[in-house]
Amino acid sequence: MPTRRSTATMKDVALKARVSLATVSRAFAAPGSVSETLTQRIVAAARDLNYTLNVNARSLRSQSSGLVVVLIPDIGNPFFSVLLQGIEEQARALGLAILIGDTHGDRELAATYARLLDTRRADGMILLNGTVPNRAHDGARLSPQRYPVVAISERIPGADIAMVGINNRAAGFEAVAHLAGLGHRRIAHIMGPADNILTHERAQGYREGVLAHGCDLWPEALQPGAFSIRAGRAAMAKLLDGPAPPTAVFAANDEIAIGAIIEAKARGLHVPRDLSVVGFDDIEYAESYDPALTTINQPRREMGRRAMAMLGELITDPDHRQADVNLEYQLVVRASTAPPRVASRKPVSRT
């Protein structure tokens, strides 16, 4: 007995429960405002008729859809997908549905998705990519005064948008401090892409760490790169080809770190005996890699949850000014870091 697609409307429910249509609406929207008896009759009638609220109609009438747009540069990337998971959990708790948009790092595509705010009357948006879509030809349409927007991880320059993330500079500093504490003096840094905000924050932390601990800071110590294994390998190769290779590397994320380790291994080096590597993010596979990665853990799921919670408040009260939230990061020491074979002031003897 295939149940038919519920075509019953509030009118039907009202008829069956012998109340007015308005009362049915109220019974569902504001449970307290309808008397006990009527509520029971209405609920029973709705059940019998297999009634389902038509959200489209509600959205049209109320001018808000219960939809939240989430803009992600790359869903396939575990870093983002776990963030999304946190967002999803909180959204569900708030009764909001998630409209997903993979921007592939393309601003034009991001703009397309951002338009859902208008066309679908989405209630808000979460940005995971550090850029405001469509700034160029669409001006201030995304200012939080118009639309509730929250950014994750990356501070968006020039936009008054609340953010939840961690202190990347401090984390970078701590990564270097860990290495320096192990005795390393020649520590390189493989950076993320140049147009990324996080890249600069982490690099800044690196610089401060190197300075504070009296480590070397030579011209090639800061290697440009990208958030990928391939880029990590390439940068590590350059570092190793240099006249005085580092004994340790701080990578701007775990994929870079893995790339660096692959390259080191390919050259017969042992990690961490010959080279220590610190990553960033603590993605799933960091723990299972060989060697297990020493890295900075970001509470990704929690970041997603908090961002969604903030957005929720912003939606219910658009005038509420949200302060940025910096969550706790954590240096997780595993097997990819160790004291240098020989302190680097004196020449390193290699077999």
Partner DNA sequence: TTGTATGCGTTATCAC
Partner DNA sequence: GTGATAACGCATACAA
Told to check if 62 binds DNA by CB under 7 A, we report yes
CB of 8 to DNA, least distance (A): 8
By CB under 7 A, name the one of 40, 48, 50, 54 that touches DNA.
Answer: 54
In the complex with DNA, which residue's Cβ is closer, 49 or 327? Answer: 49
Told to check if 330 binds a copy of itself by CB under 8 A, we report no
Show the binding pattern over residues 155-194: x = contacts a copy of itself (CB under 8 A), - = does not.
Answer: ----------------------------------------
Show the binding pattern over residues 258-277: x = contacts DNA (CB under 7 A), - = does not.
Answer: --------------------
One DSSP character per residue, 32-79 reads GGS-HHHHHHHHHHHHHHT----HHHHHHHHT--SEEEEEES-TTSHH
Told to check if 9 binds DNA by CB under 7 A, we report yes
In the complex with DNA, which residue's Cβ is closer, 59 or 167? Answer: 59
Told to check if 100 binds a copy of itself by CB under 8 A, we report yes
In the complex with DNA, which residue's Cβ is closer, 23 or 153? Answer: 23
By CB under 8 A, name the one of 15, 38, 97, 159 that touches a copy of itself.
Answer: 97
DSSP letter, residue 247: S
Question: Is there a cis peptide before residue 291, judged by omega within 30 degrees of 0?
Answer: yes
What is the phi/psi pair of residue 99, to 5°?
-100, 120
By CB under 7 A, name the one of 3, 63, 349, 351 that touches DNA.
Answer: 63
> Looking only at residues 19 through 48 of this chain, which bind DNA when binding is defined by CB under 7 A?
19-23, 25-26, 28-29, 33-35, 37-38
- Among residues 95, 162, 153, 105, which one has the least CA distance to residue 133? 105
Q: Residues 106, 112, 113, CA angle at the centre, nearest 5°?
A: 90
Question: Packing angle between helix 78-94 and helix 300-316, nearest 10 degrees?
Answer: 40
In the complex with a copy of itself, which residue's Cβ is closer, 140 or 212? Answer: 140
Contact at 8 Å (CB) between 225 and 252? yes
In the complex with DNA, which residue's Cβ is closer, 33 or 143? Answer: 33
In the complex with a copy of itself, which residue's Cβ is closer, 72 or 180? Answer: 72
Contact at 8 Å (CB) between 258 and 232? yes
Cα gap 4→160, rounded to integer Å = 49
Cα gap 181→344, rounded to integer Å = 14
Cα gap 254→247, rounded to integer Å = 18
Told to check if 136 binds a copy of itself by CB under 8 A, we report no
By CB under 7 A, name the one of 1, 16, 53, 183 that touches DNA.
Answer: 53
The entry of a copy of itself, DNA, none that residue 20 binds, CB within 5 to 8 Å by partner kind: DNA
Contacts of 225 (CB under 8 A, 6+ apart): 190, 191, 192, 193, 231, 232, 234, 235, 252, 256
Contact at 8 Å (CB) between 96 and 120? no
Contact at 8 Å (CB) between 102 and 159? no
Please give the structure tokens belonging to residue 261: 């380790």
Told to check if 146 binds a copy of itself by CB under 8 A, we report yes
Q: Applying CB under 7 A, which residues contact DNA?
A: 7, 9-11, 18-23, 25-26, 28-29, 33-35, 37-38, 51-54, 57-58, 60-63
Binding site for a copy of itself (CB under 8 A): 1-6, 52-57, 59-60, 65, 74-78, 81-82, 84-85, 88-89, 92, 97-102, 112, 115-116, 118-121, 138-141, 143, 145-147, 229, 258-259, 262, 265, 284-285, 288-290
